[in-house]
Structure 1
């Protein structure tokens, strides 16, 4: 690629497998005629960028004249930004901020091809060598009343590379493990079409799907101390951008297990869908090993949209069974407390008494908690609610203080929140973020509860430190909690 300073950038020569690459067009598709480079801070983009990213500023044109109009000014702004930085930082970013010296429509190869088509809003190359879209660059601090939405800013794009790093680092760790994988639905197990072959389209489901899977026998299941559920959501049209292709809303999603004895679905894992973007989760569901220890044929449900607003999605879902050398495995998940409507009656509940088995060698509290809906206080999605557990001599209180903050979710792209969704993804929520897995709270009880004890567990929900009041609306807490027994 020719650069404006006369040099060339050759990706094959620069490739290390550790860097990411982002291509930024000057003329954003949602703001034709308003050049978002001019309204954006390069420094703010770099403030949220990891050090292993290269940025390429491309002029979305076939006219040489536009290089002088758009590329030369951004090159000057980059020079000014570098001059204001500490010397070491400036030296680092000088080699990673590139202004392309030829109109993008004239560029040969994939860069020119992408900018003339599906990559006209910008694109990137991640550490897996995959070409990635950049999503929506609308930013929370750039609301414009004239258009009723948020303007594009380079700062938004800076949140994309941290998420790519998160995905790559997670995969690196997964590759180190010895795991038994059981695909529940995907390329090998989806129902084939009329031709008898499982194609991509055969994996597309609109709302939920029940699958029956054969697990290893009880002796083999007893060798596992860890269970994760890996879930990949892909847009149904592989030849289109994510917007208006992937599901539009941040809905609750679950993996559940059918319990024939109680005739109920048991929650194994919870995650939240994105606003119009693809997503990939790996969720700890170790407590569910207690329900699966007999092995054999079991029925699971993968669910992610309400019946009144389905979201067709290509699904791959896999159980990951492993032994991490803990020295014990779950044998019971004893239900403790659940959530409910977050009002004055929320704490009208009795303590739960649990008889701890003599055979227990490890005990833990495990809770999955998220807040949803909106009463006049913004509860329980956007209000700061707290949760207080007491089990024996153990007490734990957690407050979702990030709920309602402007960037509570935007600040966590490096922890697994998919960035630049086509919606209000930035705002902090009460126990969740759009597109993120809901990580269970897990607490060791060994110092507080002993095998053979009869122990009492109590729980209270809190709003600003006190019991919630009834103010109208339908805010609610979705919670499942268990005392998990390991032997």
Structure 2
């Protein structure tokens, strides 16, 4: 996802590149001596200490022993991406996203203390069993082997039981442990041993839980909840699988994947030395289908001279619900609607048809995304004051920023030309392709290094055609440049777990709707990822031509009505031609 340059990381993280005067002796040896060696007369002598990942920090001192080759590290051997999160120092609370205070619980394996176990690299998830409750029983009885296979390794799972009788509660936990042992016996012994340190079967009564855990559960008595990678209390969403109509334990593991995504997003944001343009800072987008559907805002960009320094641009958005609570009853919007951030024309700010980013909102949960829109930098080349328009039916407290930075790339986008599309949905039927005429263009500027297509397209509508288009069918989008076809397709639209598999790419897990199903170019609870294609190799001196059409199974689409629904197929499309120059 990230294309950020390592050169943007602060010098504290790239001591080798920035220089260090801590060891004047080693500084005379090129390359620098390894740990355990001495520099004598310009040569390294002695046996180096073991350093499995080759990051220059010996294994005995390395807190991150598998750092990727070439990554800059700090004195503990951790890259920016691996650096552990410090234990939150408070203030602690019981609200969602409040820092979690300390607690200790008794388990079948002994005591587990939260703060003492903190490594800065783990998340914690809790599952509460209530025997006799159909939802809880289904989760507890689901496939624990599939759960372990789905889960990242950096999670502590704590299983609780609401049974009042101590002996019965302990027996229930022992039965759950026995089921896990059967699954662990099928794993590699080393992997199984690691899991045994992370599966905790709590024997304490839930109404007598210690410290912050007891206080949080009293305030939020849910079947599942968690503590994220930042040490904050979180809800865990619905573990219901719309594919088979039952909840499953393996869906709880998707929360851990989501927590890892949030941590990775924070790392990427921290590694960018960006100029930030604040669009919304907690401001309310009201939503609805009338006046609140659109929120307009005026921003101030850097000057044109400053804009010319940047080669990269991204948009960060966090959509917050009231009190960070999930679900319609708590005021978190119910449906997966398309939301858009539009750029208004410089000369006519009332005309706002140029889409900068597209999102599809989650079913009843918050979302957070960072979208790379670098090819559209020329839209803001003149800098200064611009008007933006955010549209969508769901209301949120919005946190939205445009990030601009120099990533050290060899080239930058300098010109964009609109090709095809509209600000709204276009019916996808036998007349669709006839809307789009070939576009002729020339690229004879000798400063041009590359030309590419930037395309954002999503399919919507279902239940009205036998093909179930355009949300759940594979629409193919063909751009023919001088007769050579380049195609974007959406095979994931036919995958019933297509979006379930993309939590690590920003899909919000465990939403309150049919979120696991793959869609055509989008997922509920995610930013829409642009498709970028280099077409430089097929260009000629003088006039070039590009043509576009949408296909289904290799042919122009003719809908076959049927199925009883009334949501006809439609496509949301905006495509651009982008020209790059060397910096």
Scaled by the length of structure 2, the TM-score of the pair is 0.75
Following the alignment from structure 1 to structure 2, what is the Cα–Cα distance between the partners of residues 250 and 28?
Answer: 33
Shift of 1:394: 4.6
Shift of residue 281 of structure 1?
1.1
1:168 match: secondary structure: helix
Structure 1 partner of 2:253: 158
Cα distance, 1:74 vs structure 2: 0.8
* Residue of 281, 305, 311 corresponding to 1:186: 281
- What is aligned with 2:536? 446
What is the match of residue 147 of structure 1?
A: none
Q: SS at the partner of 1:142?
A: coil
2:76 aligns with none
Measured against aligned partners, the alpha-carbon deviations of 1:181-232 in whole angstroms (never above 9, x if no partner) come to: 1111114xx4xxxxxxxxxxxx453333110011111101111111111011
> Structure 2 vs 1, CA of residues 60 and 453 (structure 1 numbering), >3 Å: closer, same or farther?
farther
Distance 1:260 1:294 in 2: 9
**C-alpha contact 1:393 1:449 (8 A) present in aligned 2:** no
- Indicate yes or no: 2:544 matched with 1:455: yes
Offset of 1:329 from its aligned partner? 2.7
Cα distance in structure 1, aligned partners of 2:365 and 2:270: 25
SS of corresponding position for 1:158: helix
- Find the aligned partners of 1:233 and 1:414 in 2 and give their Cα distance: 18
Distance 1:28 1:464 in 2: 49
Q: Secondary structure, in 3 states, of the residue corresponding to 1:116?
A: helix
Structure 1: distance between partners of 2:304 and 2:403? 16
Worse overlay, 257-266 or 439-448: 257-266
Question: How much has 1:37 moved relative to structure 2?
Answer: 4.2
Aligned to 1:283: 371
CA drift at 1:27: 2.5
User: Could you tell me how far 1:241 is from its partner in structure 2?
Assistant: 3.9
- 1:27-67 CA-to-partner distances (Å, cap 9, x unmatched) read 299x4685234421111111111111111101135542441
Unaligned runs of 5+ in 1: 144-150, 191-202, 306-310
From 355, 364, 367, the equivalent of 2:452 is: 364
| Cα root mean square deviation, aligned | 2.1
Q: Deviations over 1:382-406 (max 9, x none)?
A: 1111111122365312321111321
Residues 162-177 of structure 1 mapped to structure 2, 5 A cutoff: 162-177=257-272
SS of corresponding position for 1:183: strand
Runs of 4+ in structure 1 off by over 4 angstroms are 31-34
* Contact 2:454/2:576, CA 8 A, preserved across alignment: yes
Aligned equivalents of 1:90, 1:470: Cα separation in 2: 52
**Deviation for aligned residue 1:6:** 4.6
Tell me the secondary structure at the aligned position of residue 334 of structure 1. strand
Conserved? CA contact 1:380–1:430, under 8 Å: yes
**For the structure 1 residues 237 and 208, does the alpha-carbon distance in structure 2 shift closer, same or farther, using more than 3 Å as the test?**
farther
Give the match's secondary structure for 1:403: helix
Name the structure 2 match of 1:198.
none
Q: In the alignment, is the contact (CA less than 8 A) between 2:140 and 2:249 conserved in 1?
A: no
Conserved in 2, the CA contact under 8 Å of 1:59 and 1:66?
no
Counterpart of 2:121 in structure 1 is 18
Q: Is the 8 A contact 2:332 2:365 kept in 1?
A: yes
Matching residue of 1:205 = 286
In our comparison, the structure showing a higher alpha carbon Rg is 2
How has the CA–CA distance of structure 1 residues 11 and 237 changed in structure 2, closer, same or farther, with 3 Å as cutoff?
A: closer
Given candidates 203, 215, 221, the residue that maps to 1:113 is 215
* 1:252 aligned residue (338, 341, 364): 338
After TM superposition, the structure 1 = structure 2 runs for residues 341-356 of structure 1, keeping only pairs within 5 Å, are 341-348=427-434, 349-356=436-443
What residue in structure 2 maps to residue 45 of structure 1? 147
User: Which residue of the partner structure matches residue 398 of structure 2?
Assistant: 315
Q: For 1:422, what is the secondary structure of its paired residue?
A: coil
Q: Is the 8 A contact 2:550 2:557 kept in 1?
A: yes
Change (3 A) 1:257 1:353: same
- Equivalent residue for 1:2? 105
Q: Give the TM-score normalised by structure 1.
A: 0.89
1:132 to 2:234 alignment: yes
In structure 2, what is the equivalent of residue 195 of structure 1?
A: none
Q: Within 2, Cα distance between the matches of 1:264 and 1:98?
A: 54
Instruction: Pick which of 66-75 and 417-426 moved more.
Output: 66-75
Does the CA-based 8 Å contact 1:230-1:320 persist in structure 2? Answer: yes
**8 Å contact from structure 1 (residues 66, 103) kept in 2:** no
* Deviation, structure 1 residue 158: 1.4
Distance 1:461-1:15 versus aligned 2 partners, 3 A rule: same
